[in-house]
Amino acid sequence: MNSGFWTFLKQYGWITLISSVLMISLVIMSQILQNASSFADTYSSLLFFTLAGIGVVLFVLFKTLWMLRGQYKRKTPGVKITLRLTLAATLMIGVPTAIIFYFSLTFIQQGINQWFDVKTETALANASALVRLSLDNSTRDRLKLTQAMVNDKGILLASSPVIEVNRLRSLLDAQEVALYHSNRQLIAFSSEEDMNVLPEPPGRNLFQQIRQKKTYAAVETRAGLTSDDQFIRVIIPFSDLGFSGTYALQVIFLIPQSMTVLAESVTAASAQYKELSYLKGPLITSFTLILSMVFLLTLVTAILFTIQAVQNFTKPIQTLARGTRAVSKGDYSVKMPIKEGDEFGDLTQAFNDMIQRISQARNEIKLGHLQTEVQKSYSQAIIKNLTSGVLTLDMNLQIRTSNDVANQIFNIEFSNYTGQHFEHLLSQDEHLPQLVDFFSHISPRLKQASKPWSLQYEFASQYGQKILMIHGSTLPSMDKKIGGYVIVIDDITELVQAQLNAAWSDVARRLAHEIKNPLTPIQLSAERLKFKLDGVLEGQNRALLERMTHTIIEQVATMKNLVQAFSDYANTPEVLLEEINLNQLITDIAVMYQDPAAKWNLTLALMDNCPMILADKARLRQLFHNLIKNSIEAMENTILPNIQITTYCDDQESMIVQVIDNGPGIAEEAQKWIFEPYATDKPKGSGLGLAIVRKIVEEHHGHISLNSSPDSDTCFIIRFPCMTRNVNTLQIKMDT
Amino acid sequence: MKIPPPISCVLFLFFFSYSSFAFSKSPIHFSSVKEVFQNQQLALNATVDFTLSEAVLSAIEHDIPILFKTEIVLFEKSDLFGFPIEKTQKKIEYYTELYAYGVNRYYVLYNHRNHKRQTFQTLESALQTLGTLQTLPIVNQSVLSSGKHYFLKIRISLDRWKLPPPLFINALLNPFWQLNSGWQEMKIQRPN
């Protein structure tokens, strides 16, 4: 047998078996009710068995419905269509079955009622009455005849009973004549059958009747060989002449077989009719019950079959729904089993193929996305590690990305403003005035430039003036249009500064070389002139010579100093880094300027536990001397001039030194060139003091800035890198 | 669980009819029961009165055979650790069929035990004979041990399970078909 048959047997077998057995039982019960008396004893057992079976089937139905209710609550896929189809099938089967049930019930009731009609009942009653009347007449005749014989032969019977009973039997044409004493003793008998068999005596009640001198005549029945025989029993009590005793003469008249058969048939028909007439109501009840059970069994079985069939039908839908749910949860590895080779099987196969393809596509997308992410990370890493600042804007000029260098250059965290239009950004944050000018410079180029562009821009940052080289270009997009802008910002301040320094150093070197050489002969010539003519000239001439040579020597000395300054600026000695305590160095230098007789006052505000820095002590001494001298010179006309030097750390990476004086302040315009060589507003200044300061700071990879305005304090802020834990790293940094 | 009103009405009528029938006089009851020892035999004399219901009488008149079941049990009662124990010594069970027969409406009693058939002109006489147990031998006297307690119980009932199949449901549900004398028990006094 194939698997389909076993599947059918597994799914429908039990319900088929139960229903078949119950249906057979109902058929047998129906046959018993109709007239199968041979199985009548089993009727009650079959009835209870069938009721129990239907109970089981109903229980199974309720259990199944309960299960469906649970599935409906759990929103199991396919349950709604199962319920809908089951309801439809139940209605399609139930309604016609109910109609058939109704008409069958009506037919049964009408059919049973039509079995019985008044005419038949009357005819049978009349036939019975006729038979009874006939037998009664015959009985009465026999009684009269026997009574007459006893009246005539009573004396002889008492005296010679044996002879007389024989004679009487012949005369009466009886089957059997027997003479009894009233005490039930048989005196004599005569029978046309076997004389060896004693006659059956009358019952005790009859002898009681005999003793009361009452006659008896009745039709009685006894079991015959083939059927019951009917006979007429006549008993006549009489006494003998001497009244010595009471006798009873029993005469048995056999009713002719033909008459018995006819009477029997009438009796049987009448009895059956009566029985059926009586059982009419119970029969209707029983047939109604059986029909109801058949209806119930048919309906329940049909519903169970329908549910099973619909569940089989919706099983592929459930499978597909389960798969869809798994896919919706992101499980693309699901593969639905294909059990049937029908259209649902094809659908499931198509679903599996589709999921497999989606899974493949998804994996490819994932891989692509991963690659893009890697590429993006790679690009970001490159951009992050670029020494140039990179800023990208979308086509709406909204900030997209930025790198650390860009943030550092502009001293702003651009990532906080991602997605915002930079103009909107400027209007929002009042602390970004430096960006206003920057964006106003680049905006026109962004709006009109489709080709790469470059721009040199000077930017006034928190730490001073910066020279930026800005390169801009557009970013591609999917639609071949402008997808955004990339702005690369190079801080070329140091480069420009280095170029300037180199140029100024060259100038200084040339000046030193060109000026220094003639100075000594000039000085020697002036001294020789004074020595030769001092003794020759007198009076005013001698004084004039003295004054002139003094002026020449003094100016030559001044020029030598200037040349020395030029030489110092031009010559960049090797920086000898060592671990120094900056506070200690500042304290040592300050001591030289803390003269009570001096006009100025120098105070220190140094942070405790100041971290060590790597620096060239001699160069730093020059730095602080230059700054202090600069301040003293600037406070020449200041009442109560005061210089304050403070140190502090704002983070673990930088050590900050501030040199503050309460001089007249520096004009905003002058702040732009204050650190430039040969830039001074002092009559005797060389214009190299602050330039050397900045050069020393830069040699130490530090940063110097100025915070001043006219009529307020002037503050030079120097930021030195602290010694990191890894000294080698710092050394490497410094070397670079 | 709430029972719908129509069903509760039907249940009420059913139980009411049953209970009212149960509290009325039993349709089969023993007017006398007595044991006799005769010829070394324990025998039983009993008289039973039958008051058949209209339903049963109507069935008999309509030629429906009615089977009466007679059960006689002789048992020994003893006590084991305070628990009463009944040990059956003898059990007699037989059926007597009562039916109307023939055009002359005789009433026939057919004893299924001894296959004897008796014909009566009236139902009363048939029921009287049915209800008369005269010196019915139960057991040999020698079976009864002295010093033990013997009891005899008898019950006569209408066997509904033997009724014609169509009548079965009616007989099962209708209390008027519940004809049962109940057990009539008596202690046997063994003669010395």
Q: What is the DSSP string of A331-383?
A: -TT-------SSHHHHHHHHHHHHHHHHHHHHHHHHHHHHHHHHHHHHHHHHH
pTM for the full model?
0.54
Tell me if A403 is assigned to some domain: yes
Assess whether pLDDT exceeds 90 at residue B155. yes
Q: Which has the closest alpha carbon to A492: A354, A387, A600, A597?
A: A387
Assess whether pLDDT exceeds 60 at residue A294. yes
Tell me if B66 is assigned to some domain: yes
Does A263 share its domain with A141?
yes
Predicted local distance difference test score (pLDDT) of residue A495:
84
Q: Which has the closest alpha carbon to A581: A505, A530, A657, A500?
A: A657
Q: Is the dihedral of CA B136, B139, B145, B148 positive or negative?
A: negative
On chain A, the residues whose CB falls within 8 A of the CB of B169 are 47, 282, 285-286, 289
- Whether A279 sits inside 8 A of B161 (CB atoms) is no
> Which neighbouring-strand residues pair with A394?
A484
Does A644 share its domain with A688?
yes
Chain B CB within 8 Å of residue A269 CB: no
Domain that holds residue B47: 26-188
Question: What's the mean pLDDT when you consider all of chain A?
Answer: 82
Tell me which residue in B64, B103, B121 faces A128 most closely, judged by beta carbons. Answer: B103
- Whether B104 sits inside 8 A of A285 (CB atoms) is no
Does A253 share its domain with A287?
no
pLDDT in tens, A60-116: 899 988 988 998 888 887 788 888 888 888 888 889 888 988 998 888 888 887 777
Does A461 share its domain with A421?
yes
pLDDT in tens, A152-211: 887 787 788 888 888 888 888 888 899 888 888 888 888 887 667 788 888 877 888 888
- Whether A266 sits inside 8 A of B103 (CB atoms) is yes
User: Tokens in use for B93?
Assistant: 């069970």
Does A238 share its domain with A266?
yes
Q: Which of residues 33-62 of A touch B (CB under 8 A)?
A: 33, 40-41, 43-44, 47
On chain B, the residues whose CB falls within 8 A of the CB of A40 are 164-165
Query: Would you call A700 helix, strand, or coil by DSSP?
Result: coil
Tell me if B101 is assigned to some domain: yes
Looking at per-residue pLDDT, the higher value among A103 and A242 belongs to: A103
Q: Which has the closest alpha carbon to A663: A640, A690, A688, A694?
A: A640
Does A582 share its domain with A554?
no
Q: What is d(CA A142, CA A177) in angstroms, rounded to the nearest whole number?
A: 13
Tell me if B80 is assigned to some domain: yes
Tell me if B12 is assigned to some domain: no
pLDDT in tens, A34-67: 775 667 778 888 889 999 999 999 998 999 889 8
Mark which of A519, A550, A570 sits at the end of a domain.
Answer: A570
Mean pLDDT is lowest, of A32-36, A404-408, A615-619, for A32-36
- Whether A275 sits inside 8 A of B164 (CB atoms) is yes
Does A602 share its domain with A710?
yes
Q: Which of residues 419-448 of A touch B (CB under 8 A)?
A: none
CATH number of domain containing A475:
3.30.450.20
Tell me if B135 is assigned to some domain: yes
Chain B CB within 8 Å of residue A604 CB: no
**Per-residue pLDDT band at B23 (split at 50, 70, 90):** very low
Predicted local distance difference test score (pLDDT) of residue A170:
87
Tell me if A466 is assigned to some domain: yes
Tell me if B6 is assigned to some domain: no
Mark which of A542, A570, A598 sits at the end of a domain.
Answer: A570
Chain B CB within 8 Å of residue A340 CB: no
Q: What is d(CA A330, CA A353) in angstroms, rounded to the nearest whole number?
A: 16
Domain count, chain A: 5
Mark which of A439, A467, A491 sits at the end of a domain.
Answer: A491
Does A151 share its domain with A259?
yes
Mutate to test the interface with B, among A33, A43, A266 (most CBs of B within 10 A): A43
Chain B CB within 8 Å of residue A271 CB: yes
Does A562 share its domain with A606?
no
On chain B, the residues whose CB falls within 8 A of the CB of A34 are none
Q: Residue length, chain B?
A: 192
Q: Which of residues 145-164 of B touch A (CB under 8 A)?
A: 161-162, 164
Predicted local distance difference test score (pLDDT) of residue A38:
65
Q: Which of residues 275-304 of A touch B (CB under 8 A)?
A: 275, 277-279, 281-283, 285-286, 289
Mutate to test the interface with A, among B63, B173, B174 (most CBs of A within 10 A): B63
Does A605 share its domain with A533?
no
Does A141 share its domain with A255?
yes
Tell me which residue in B63, B118, B164 faces A271 most closely, judged by beta carbons. Answer: B63
Chain B CB within 8 Å of residue A272 CB: yes
Tell me which residue in B62, B164, B170 faces A40 most closely, judged by beta carbons. Answer: B164
Over residues A456-470, mean pLDDT: 78
Assess whether pLDDT exceeds 70 at residue A731. no
Q: Which residue in this structure is represented by tokens 């006052």? A: A601
Does A56 share its domain with A163?
no
Domain that holds residue A583: 578-735
**CB count in 10 Å sphere of residue A533:** 14
Distance between A161 CA and the closest CA of chain B, angstroms: 29
Chain A CB within 8 Å of residue B173 CB: no
Domain count, chain B: 1
Q: What is d(CA A220, CA A217) in angstroms, rounded to the nearest whole number?
A: 9
